[in-house]
C-alpha cells in the first residue's frame, strides 16, 4: 500500500512516499520557493538525487508536479494507488491528542488554532487542500506536532499567570517536535526490550527540545506555548525573563512584533556568535578560537544539561537518554560535552563509540548508570504509520 507523508510550509513542500506496511521509502523530495520566481524541486529515487527548476505558482502546482514525477518514475500507475496522505500539522492545541482523519470539523479546528501558530497552520492547511483537490480518493490524515505532549499533567503544562489567560486564551505549555519524541521513545522501548521505562529524549537541531517520557507517555517537555521556549537554538532565544521584552521596546523604540522577531530569528547561536545559526559554523569558530562561538556553545550545553538533570529528578530516575536531530545525531563534540557535564548522574561516555554520525549507536560504557544512545529520528515514518493505521490492509 502506498502512503505519502508530507510537510507543507509557507513556500515549501517536503514529501516521502512509502510502501506500507514494509515502510520502504519509494521516493522522497522537497519543493522549494513555491510562489517565487526561482522555484525548484529535488527528488531522490533509487539512490539518485535529481534537481529541477520549474515554475510553481502555488502548492497546487507543487502537488501536480509531484504526481507527474510519481507517474513518470513508475512509482504509481494511477492516483488510486495512493491510499493515504499523512500531513504534518504543527499545532493541534489541546483539541487533539492523537492523529485523526481530516474532515470539515478538523479543518475548522485547525483554522481556529491559527492564532497559536500563525506561520505554520495556514501553510499546513494549504497543503491539505491541495492534496484533497488533486488526490481526492486518498485518506487524508492530520498528524499533530503537539499531540504527543497532551499527556502532561495540568500542574506541568500550566503557567503561573492569571488563570483566565488559560481558560480564555489558551495560554499553556503545548510542546512541539512530538512526532520525533514519540518515535525516539518507541525506539528506546524496542532497544531496552520493555515498555515500562523512564527515558529522556533530546531532539537537537536548529530547533531543539527535550522530553521526559514515562511508560511511553510524555510527562514534560522543554518547548512551551511556542517553539521559542526551552533550549538555546539556532536563532531562537529559549527561556528568558519575559520582562526583557518591554525593557528592550523602551530602550530601542522597537515594536512588540520587532522584538519577537529578534527573539525568534536573531537570537540563539546567531545572536551570541554574530556569525551563524548553524552549529557547524559555531564549531568551526570554536576551532578557530572565536570567543563568542565558545561562549554560545557553553550556553547551549549548559541549558541542555540543566533540562536533562531536572527531568532525571522529575522522572525519579532514568533508564536511558537519546540524542537525535541534526546536532544530536552528528555533533560528536556536543554530545561529549553534554555527557561529561552529566557525570554526577553516573554517566560514562565511550569516546570510541561516540565517534559516530547519523547511526543508531550506544555511546556510553557498560558500567554507565544510564545508557545513552544516538538514534536518528524519523518523523516521516511516524506520519506514514499513523496514516496507515486508519486504512489497514
What are the pLDDT digits (tens) for 187-232? 999 999 999 999 999 999 999 999 999 999 999 999 999 999 999 9
Instruction: Name the residue with higher pLDDT: 36 or 377.
Output: 377
Catalytic residue among 61, 145, 378, 386: 145
Which pLDDT score, from 0 to 100, does residue 360 have?
98
**pLDDT score at 283:** 97
- Residue 349's pLDDT band (boundaries 50, 70, 90)? very high
C-alpha 338/C-alpha 322 separation (Å) is 12
pLDDT above 80: residue 136: yes
pTM attached to this predicted model:
0.94
Among this protein's residues, is 145 annotated catalytic?
yes
- Span 345-369, mean pLDDT? 98
pLDDT for the residue 11? 86
Report which secondary-structure segment, H or E, holds 285: helix 279-287
Binned at pLDDT 50, 70 and 90, residue 233 comes out as very high
Domains and CATH numbers, the chain: 2-144 (3.30.420.40), 192-379 (3.30.420.40)
All 3 cell numbers of residue 381?
515514518
- State the chain's mean pLDDT as an integer: 96
pLDDT (tens digit per residue) in 26-74: 999 999 999 888 999 999 998 899 999 999 999 999 999 999 999 999 9
3-state helix, strand, coil in the chain (%, to 5): 40, 20, 35
The answer to whether residue 22 scores a pLDDT higher than 90 is yes
- pLDDT exceeds cutoff 90 at 120: no
| Number of residues written out for the chain | 393
Buried b (16+ CB within 10 A) or exposed e, 167-198: eeebbbbbbbbbbbbbbbbebbbebeeeeebb
Mean pLDDT for the stretch of residues 235-250: 97
CA 211 to chain centre: 12
Statement: residue 392 has pLDDT above 80: no
In this predicted structure, what is the pLDDT of residue 231? 98
pLDDT at 279: 96
Res 364: pLDDT = 98
User: Long-range contacts of range 75-80, CB-CB < 8 Å, 24 or more positions apart?
Assistant: 75/2, 75/17, 75/26, 75/27, 75/45, 76/2, 79/134, 79/135, 79/137, 79/138, 80/137
Closest CA to 96 of 159, 168, 167, 151: 151
Give me Rg for the CA atoms of the chain: 21
- pLDDT value at residue 393: 60
Q: What is the mean pLDDT of residues 166-179?
A: 96
Instruction: Tell me if residue 320 falls in helix, strand or coil.
Output: strand
8 Å CB contact between 35 and 29 = no
Q: Label residues 225-249 b or e (16+ Cβ within 10 Å = b).
A: bbbbbbbbbbbbbbeeeeeebeeee
Amino acid at each position: 500500500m502506498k502512503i505519502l507523508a508530507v510537510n507543507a510550509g509557507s513556500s515549501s513542500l517536503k514529501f516521502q512516499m512509502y510502501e506500507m506496511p514494509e515502510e520502504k521509502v519509494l521516493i522522497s523530495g522537497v519543493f522549494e520557493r513555491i510562489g517565487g520566481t526561482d522555484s525548484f524541486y529535488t527528488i531522490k529515487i533509487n539512490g539518485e538525487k535529481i534537481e529541477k527548476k520549474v515554475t510553481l505558482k502555488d502548492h497546487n502546482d507543487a502537488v501536480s508536479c509531484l504526481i507527474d514525477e510519481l507517474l513518470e518514475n513508475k512509482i504509481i500507475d494511477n492516483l488510486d494507488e495512493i491510499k493515504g496522505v499523512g500531513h504534518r500539522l504543527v499545532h493541534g492545541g489541546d483539541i487533539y491528542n492523537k492523529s485523526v482523519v481530516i474532515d470539515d470539523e478538523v479543518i475548522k479546528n485547525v483554522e481556529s488554532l491559527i492564532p497559536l501558530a500563525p506561520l505554520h497552520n495556514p501553510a499546513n492547511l494549504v497543503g491539505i487542500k491541495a492534496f484533497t483537490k488533486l488526490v481526492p480518493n486518498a485518506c487524508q490524515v492530520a498528524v499533530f506536532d503537539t499531540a504527543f505532549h497532551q499527556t502532561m499533567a495540568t500542574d506541568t503544562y500550566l503557567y503561573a499567570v492569571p488563570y483566565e489567560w488559560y481558560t480564555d486564551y489558551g495560554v499553556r505549555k503545548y510542546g512541539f517536535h512530538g512526532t520525533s519524541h514519540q518515535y525516539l521513545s518507541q525506539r528506546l522501548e524496542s532497544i531496552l526490550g520493555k515498555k515500562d521505562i523512564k527515558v529522556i529524549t533530546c531532539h537537537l537541531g536548529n530547533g531543539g527540545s527535550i522530553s521526559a517520557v514515562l511508560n511511553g507517555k510524555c510527562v514534560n517537555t522543554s518547548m512551551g506555548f511556542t517553539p521559542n521556549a526551552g533550549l538555546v537554538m539556532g536563532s531562537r532565544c529559549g527561556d528568558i525573563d519575559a520582562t526583557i521584552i518591554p525593557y528592550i521596546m523602551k530602550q530601542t523604540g522597537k515594536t512588540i512584533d520587532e522584538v519577537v522577531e529578534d527573539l525568534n530569528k536573531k537570537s540563539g547561536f546567531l545572536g551570541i556568535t554574530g556569525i551563524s545559526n548553524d552549529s557547524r559554523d559555531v564549531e568551526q569558530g570554536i576551532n578557530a578560537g572565536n570567543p563568542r562561538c565558545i561562549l554560545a556553545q557553553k550556553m547551549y550545553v549548559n541549558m541542555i544539561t540543566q533540562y536533562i538533570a531536572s527531568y532525571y529528578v522529575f522522572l525519579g530516575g532514568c533508564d536511558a537518554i537519546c540524542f537525535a536531530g541534526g546536532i544530536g545525531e552528528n555533533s560528536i563534540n556536543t554530545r561529549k560535552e553534554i555527557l561529561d557535564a552529566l557525570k554526577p548522574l553516573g554517566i560514562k561516555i565511550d569516546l570510541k563509540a561516540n565517534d559516530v554520525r547519523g547511526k543508531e549507536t550506544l555511546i556510553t560504557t557498560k558500567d554507565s548508570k544510564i545508557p545513552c544512545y544516538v538514534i536518528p529520528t524519523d518523523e516521516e515514518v511516524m506520519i506514514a504509520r499513523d496514516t496507515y493505521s486508519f486504512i489497514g490492509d
